[in-house]
Amino acid sequence: MGKGDRRTRRGKTYRGSYGISRPHSLQPAVAGAKATVTKPAAAKKAAPKKKSA
């Protein structure tokens, strides 16, 4: 239960390793929160052609 414990966050930080207790990628702060998903940019529609008189 301290620096030498590989199962705790403090132990993982001390050893410089990652795992369940200390995930490498950060997770959302709120449990159940959805990650932000970016939508691809909408394709621009071509301008309507002008009628020639």
9-34 pLDDT per residue, tens? 888 888 888 888 888 876 666 666 66
Residue 10 CA to residue 13 CA, distance in Å, equals 5
Query: Which pTM does this prediction carry?
Result: 0.40
Q: How many residues does the chain have?
A: 53
- Residue-level pLDDT at 9: 86
